[in-house]
Amino acid sequence: MSVPPLLAFENITKSFGAVRALQGVSFDLRPGEVHALLGENGAGKSTLIKVATGAHVPDGGAIVVGQRRHAALTPSTARAAGIACIYQQPALFPDLTVAENLGLRLEPAGALRRVDWRGRRVRALELLRGVGAEFSAEAEVRDLSMPEQQLVEIAAAIGSGARIVIMDEPTSSLTRREQERLFGIVRKLRDDGAGIVYISHRLEEIAELADRVTVLRDGRSVGTFAADAVDPPALIHLMVGRELSQLYPAAQPASDGIGVEVCGAGCAEVGVADVSFAVRRGEIFGLAGLVGAGRTELARVLFGLNPADAGEIRLEGRAVKIGSPMAALRHGIAYVPEDRRRHGAVLELPVSHNITLAAHRRIFPRGWLDAAEERRIAEEFIARLAIRTAGPDAAAGTLSGGNQQKVAVARWLAVRPRVLILDEPTQGVDIGAKAELHRLIRELAVTGLAVILISSDLPEIIGMSDRIGVMRGGRLAGILPGGASASAVMTATLGSAERKGAA
């Protein structure tokens, strides 16, 4: 006798005006399985998740949870049914502690209820240790990294006793070591009989974790397959409806000229010390390392967010003082940061405003806005970066994640930089958009930009970098040639002491 699914969608439809986001989608999740949900941005994955969590009411079809059939769920009925969603961008209160955030999620509500503060801290610590977190329950969420915030979300899901766990790009900002820890949690949930809907653009994870795979394209179910029955090229073809012959474009020879040189640079405030390297014009210099190793901190030093207090920075052979982001821009250094929610596209503003946000000198030449110049710049970058949008006046929030990331890159290209720092530029975008961004990054390097690429995606670092610098403990542990093996990069990343400890 077959075991009924934990969750099933039957011919779900959902439209937003004239846009049909879901067209007769069917999907089921069994107890004790990891079911991967794949598709490009805009394929309908997010809409289906919101139907499952009660954020969207479907226009048609049915949702079956356990033995109960529903025309729609609400957020409260979804939680009561044991559905928990861990989003790519954690939805936590930044000014509260971890224990307070977990308490708000897990404790019963009531205006007159007394808070057991000690019990709350003990429960929070227990949940955090269960997911391998090493930070305090008393830490404020704003002081946590994105991976640490995701662990809080996972702890909340486990604490709620959820039997249906939806994970939306859970490894998008994790290093390999943190991914392995997460995979262990996923496997434990599966072994305990929970069902996990796993959404990821990293196909290597699907082969490692998933039992079954469902592919969506243009709001429709393309099919459901056993994970071991479809290889990555077949999945890509199912997702995008075309072949992607080259995810990582071929390297091009770099110029002999040095674009940026870092000489013994350090900043005690962020724990960066004695970093030295040079990036030639036309070169992509990758920065690998664990989260907290100093990659983003080094980028902040180079962009003047945390100015260097030791060493020097040279641009095209000339020493410069980078004491602020304004000084960095003046010297031709641009920085696309990791946190797209806070520093990416401003979703409420039109594409044109987003692209020209940092180029005020170009669009305010005499103290007032030159609207024609702003539109010309926007149209230039829409065409140059192949941004898919209804036009410069369209709100950035109407674009897919990959196109929003292109808008964020365009903003800094509009200031005409000589050095471009990209921190996790393809984080959370689909496979097609990732290939386009890789092509764009290589084309930017070919024009003579010195590119510094920070990524936690090891295949991306190896496939895109002409040389790879490895950060560890705020220092540059070594520089490897482009195309170095994954084991060589990981060996340099972990260091001999950590490898002995791991053994």
Quote the number of domains for the chain. Answer: 2
pLDDT-derived band at 500 (thresholds 50, 70, 90) equals: very low
| Same-domain check for residues 384 and 433 | yes
pLDDT-derived band at 213 (thresholds 50, 70, 90) equals: very high
pLDDT-derived band at 172 (thresholds 50, 70, 90) equals: low
pLDDT-derived band at 265 (thresholds 50, 70, 90) equals: very high
CATH of the domain at 350: 3.40.50.300
478 within a domain of the structure (yes/no): no
**Among residues of the chain, what percentage have pLDDT more than 70?**
94
- Other beta carbons within 10 Å of 36: 25
User: Can you point out the beta strands (E) in 96-179?
Assistant: 164-168
Q: What is the mean pLDDT of residues 436-456?
A: 91
Angle of CA points 357, 417, 412, to nearest 5°: 25
Helix (H, G, I), strand (E, B) or coil at 199: strand
| Same-domain check for residues 331 and 182 | no
Over the chain, what is the mean pLDDT? 87
Q: Sheet holding 450-454: strands in order across?
A: 333-336, 419-423, 450-454, 284-288, 467-472, 475-481
Helix (H, G, I), strand (E, B) or coil at 391: coil
| Same-domain check for residues 48 and 189 | yes
Per-residue model confidence (pLDDT) at position 496: 45
**Among residues of the chain, what percentage have pLDDT more than 90?**
48
What the block records as the tokens of 202 is 């990293």
Please identify, among 184, 209, 240, the residue that sits at the C-terminal boundary of a domain: 240
- Which domain does 28 fall in, by range? 7-240
pLDDT-derived band at 341 (thresholds 50, 70, 90) equals: low
| Same-domain check for residues 267 and 125 | no
480 within a domain of the structure (yes/no): no
Per-residue model confidence (pLDDT) at position 313: 96
* pTM summary value: 0.63
| Same-domain check for residues 349 and 495 | yes
263 neighbors 322 (Cβ within 8 angstroms): no
CA dihedral 102, 108, 110, 112 (to 10 degrees): -80
| Same-domain check for residues 288 and 234 | no
| Same-domain check for residues 191 and 122 | yes
Q: Pick the residue with more confidence: 430 or 488?
A: 488
Q: Under 8 Å CB-to-CB from 337, ≥6 apart: which residues?
A: 296, 299, 343, 423
246 within a domain of the structure (yes/no): no
Which of the 8 DSSP states describes residue 229? Answer: G
371: left (phi over 0), alpha (psi -120 to 50) or beta: alpha
Say if residue 361's pLDDT is above 50: yes
The Cβ-side half-sphere exposure at 452, using a 13 Å CA radius, reads 29
Q: What is the mean pLDDT of residues 16-35?
A: 90
315 within a domain of the structure (yes/no): yes
| Same-domain check for residues 97 and 221 | yes
| Same-domain check for residues 176 and 81 | yes
Per-residue model confidence (pLDDT) at position 499: 37
- Other beta carbons within 10 Å of 347: 13
361 within a domain of the structure (yes/no): yes
Task: Tell me phi and psi for residue 279, to 5 degrees.
Answer: -125, 125
251 within a domain of the structure (yes/no): no
414 neighbors 359 (Cβ within 8 angstroms): yes
198 within a domain of the structure (yes/no): yes
86 neighbors 149 (Cβ within 8 angstroms): no
Per-residue model confidence (pLDDT) at position 387: 86
Please identify, among 240, 268, 301, the residue that sits at the C-terminal boundary of a domain: 240
| Same-domain check for residues 224 and 284 | no
479 within a domain of the structure (yes/no): no
- Other beta carbons within 10 Å of 98: 29
| Same-domain check for residues 213 and 355 | no
Say if residue 343's pLDDT is above 80: no
| Same-domain check for residues 214 and 290 | no
